[in-house]
Chains A and B, each alone.
Chain A
């Protein structure tokens, strides 16, 4: 969260908003439906984002808005709108430092050390719901910085999929505004981007390992072919699916991963009650899911 947006949010979420018991009900409803959980330190965000939707539909209190989301005929549409509001504008390069650290300091080094990997020397990553591509390019940069210099023959292959054609066009174009660049050091800007007016174009060296593709995660046939990944990312997509669709999709992710592979959701999403096969794992500052290696002793993972 940038300082700037915090300042704006603090102006908007009042103490009365934060103390409103209906906000807790709203939080629990969102958790139940989407799996996104707002801890109390994120209440101001929840209040602000709900208020934005409430203004649009002319709802004045959280109690009334909760009603709109639960008892009215258009409740599903409004929930979708709210979830859009909650996840909007969340993509920029190097977003979510704790997960980035986990991948570069813990997971990548582990993958290149796997005995079974030594013949192929390739890390395979799937960004499911890649939106406008920032996450995929970030992963490509991470590999260039952390693995490529130390493990010369190793390659990364990133499969980035999305349902939205407009997003995919932007991914392939690889041209980004300042907003997407805000977390990048001058060195990284210089090294991996070429400035074009007020925009920044991603360089080919970052682009090369990525394949962008259109994929509907609900397409059962196509999903069967997504196999052999070491890492899968799927942030803020499952939240729109109902329980059964969530279960099905997560099962595909599970099957798509190699044993010992990792799966990451959005920052505040949980898989609780959706899938028992994955094991929740903690990294400093972030959580992920792990597909156990068959026969692995339950206490053996450290």
Chain B
């Protein structure tokens, strides 16, 4: 039913071409990074360019002189942060039409948080392909936006019910809609022709089981999503649950593949460290939604 509904509705956003070309450039390995091309692409998009300059000149980075050109901004912020800005500035615009459902700022706080934590957890564990994990974390819940757009009233009910019962979103989605944002996200991922591993992560990031539990990307994103929900970067409501992360299948999979780094990771300390992302993510989200060049 969902599949048909989605394909019938031409209303789902199209992946912006700038994101396709910039995405490829920004995901290149450090040796193949073409700064000129990145600067050129960003300069094409006025609001994106303005966003880069604003972040480069924001309180977080004012240790150097004023940043006036896009090239300076790219060099000052570094490729990783430029990529964060490109995605976090372009994607919200696509879903600005969703009037009901989860607040955009809440959604992007969780998305950016999950992206940062995925990348950081992968770094600690020495998981390969760290660059891709940022994107996987950022996009994993994209189905929430799909649900907000396609089923505004039902999804609003899902949110209210989840908040009132303090239960995970997925469970309530399943009850009320008959499917979850994992499935609707997967459909959008296929329409957007996202890389297969990212699409799989979107589909299985709440239920890594069977073969998919072996996919490291899915496991990392599963844990990052959970940690964000537990540390104030969640879906905007209290989930009355207790988690033994070490007992979760994804953690056991990662531990098996990276025994040394996993054994050396103080998970409690890692959790405390997450709180510093809260500040970073909030700054980013404020800057996306704060003024005229934001998505609304």
Interface residues of A (CB under 8 A from B): 15, 19, 31, 37, 39-42, 101-102, 105-107, 268, 270-273, 279-285, 287, 290, 298-302
Q: What is the CA–CA distance of A219 and B63 in the complex, to the nearest angstrom?
A: 53
Contact of A281 among B240, B242, B274 (CB under 8 A): B242
Interface centre among B63, B230, B239, B278 (most CB of A within 10 A): B230
Q: What is the CA–CA distance of A46 and B232 in the complex, to the nearest angstrom?
A: 22
A270: B residues at CB distance < 8 A: 266, 268-269, 272
Which partner residue on chain B sits nearest A297 by CB separation? B247
0/1 interface trace, chain B 204-239, chain A, CB 8 Å (1 if under) = 000000000000000000000011011110100011
B63: A residues at CB distance < 8 A: 15, 19
A41, B249: Cβ atoms closer than 8 Å:
no
Interface residues of B (CB under 8 A from A): 63, 166, 226-227, 229-232, 234, 238-249, 252, 266-269, 271-276, 278-279
B272, A37: Cβ atoms closer than 8 Å:
yes
Known contacts A31-B269, A37-B269; is A280 also within 8 Å of B276 by CB? no
A42: B residues at CB distance < 8 A: 275
Interface centre among B234, B246, B252, B268 (most CB of A within 10 A): B268
B241, A106: Cβ atoms closer than 8 Å:
yes
From residue A29, how far is it (CB to closest CB) to chain B in Å?
Answer: 14
Known contacts A39-B273, A101-B238, A270-B266; is A283 also within 8 Å of B249 by CB? no
Q: What is the CA–CA distance of A120 and B83 in the complex, to the nearest angstrom?
A: 59
From residue A5, how far is it (CB to closest CB) to chain B in Å?
Answer: 17
Known contacts A101-B238, A284-B230, A285-B230; is A279 also within 8 Å of B244 by CB? yes
B276, A39: Cβ atoms closer than 8 Å:
yes
B245, A299: Cβ atoms closer than 8 Å:
no
Q: What is the CA–CA distance of A238 and B110 in the complex, to the nearest angstrom?
A: 34
A15: B residues at CB distance < 8 A: 63
Known contacts A271-B268, A272-B269; is A282 also within 8 Å of B275 by CB? no
Q: What is the CA–CA distance of A280 and B246 in the complex, to the nearest angstrom?
A: 8
From residue B112, how far is it (CB to closest CB) to chain A in Å?
Answer: 16
Q: What is the CA–CA distance of A105 and B226 in the complex, to the nearest angstrom?
A: 19
A-B contact pairs, 6 of them (CB 8 A): A37-B269, A41-B276, A41-B278, A105-B240, A284-B238, A302-B243
Sample of 12 further A-B pairs with CB below 8 A, known A268-B272, A301-B247: A37-B268, A39-B276, A105-B240, A272-B267, A272-B268, A279-B244, A282-B243, A282-B245, A284-B240, A285-B230, A287-B268, A299-B247
B239, A284: Cβ atoms closer than 8 Å:
yes
Known contacts A282-B230, A285-B230; is A301 also within 8 Å of B242 by CB? yes
Interface centre among A102, A107, A300, A301 (most CB of B within 10 A): A301
Q: What is the CA–CA distance of A95 and B269 in the complex, to the nearest angstrom?
A: 21
A19: B residues at CB distance < 8 A: 63
Q: What is the CA–CA distance of A298 and B166 in the complex, to the nearest angstrom?
A: 24
A102, B271: Cβ atoms closer than 8 Å:
no
A40, B241: Cβ atoms closer than 8 Å:
no
Instruction: Give the A-B contact count at a CB cut-off of 8 A.
Output: 91
Which partner residue on chain B sits nearest A267 by CB separation? B272
Shortest beta-carbon contacts, A-B, top 3: A272-B266, A270-B268, A41-B276
B269: A residues at CB distance < 8 A: 31, 37, 270, 272
Interface centre among A15, A105, A272, A279 (most CB of B within 10 A): A272
From residue A302, how far is it (CB to closest CB) to chain B in Å?
Answer: 7
A283, B230: Cβ atoms closer than 8 Å:
yes
B243: A residues at CB distance < 8 A: 281-283, 301-302
Known contacts A41-B279, A272-B266; is A287 also within 8 Å of B271 by CB? yes
Contact of A41 among B166, B242, B275 (CB under 8 A): B275
Which partner residue on chain B sits nearest A110 by CB separation? B242
A280: B residues at CB distance < 8 A: 244-246, 267-268
B238, A299: Cβ atoms closer than 8 Å:
no
Q: What is the CA–CA distance of A28 and B269 in the complex, to the nearest angstrom?
A: 11
Interface centre among B232, B242, B269 (most CB of A within 10 A): B242
From residue A279, how far is it (CB to closest CB) to chain B in Å?
Answer: 5
From residue A176, how far is it (CB to closest CB) to chain B in Å?
Answer: 29
B244, A301: Cβ atoms closer than 8 Å:
yes
Contact of A106 among B227, B242, B248, B275 (CB under 8 A): B242
B166: A residues at CB distance < 8 A: 105
B249: A residues at CB distance < 8 A: 299
B242, A102: Cβ atoms closer than 8 Å:
yes
Q: What is the CA–CA distance of A19 and B64 in the complex, to the nearest angstrom?
A: 14
Q: What is the CA–CA distance of A285 and B240 in the complex, to the nearest angstrom?
A: 11
Q: What is the CA–CA distance of A268 and B272 in the complex, to the nearest angstrom?
A: 7
Known contacts A41-B275, A299-B248, A302-B243; is A282 also within 8 Å of B266 by CB? no
A281, B244: Cβ atoms closer than 8 Å:
yes
Which partner residue on chain A sits nearest B279 by CB separation? A41
Contact of B242 among A40, A271, A283, A285 (CB under 8 A): A283
Interface centre among A282, A287, A302 (most CB of B within 10 A): A282
Q: What is the CA–CA distance of A40 and B278 in the complex, to the nearest angstrom?
A: 11
Which partner residue on chain A sits nearest B249 by CB separation? A299
Q: What is the CA–CA distance of A198 and B55 in the complex, to the nearest angstrom?
A: 49
Q: What is the CA–CA distance of A113 and B150 in the complex, to the nearest angstrom?
A: 40
Q: What is the CA–CA distance of A101 and B166 in the complex, to the nearest angstrom?
A: 12
B276: A residues at CB distance < 8 A: 39-41
Contact of A39 among B252, B267, B275 (CB under 8 A): B275
B244, A290: Cβ atoms closer than 8 Å:
yes
Q: What is the CA–CA distance of A206 and B266 in the complex, to the nearest angstrom?
A: 38
From residue B67, how far is it (CB to closest CB) to chain A in Å?
Answer: 18
A281: B residues at CB distance < 8 A: 242-244
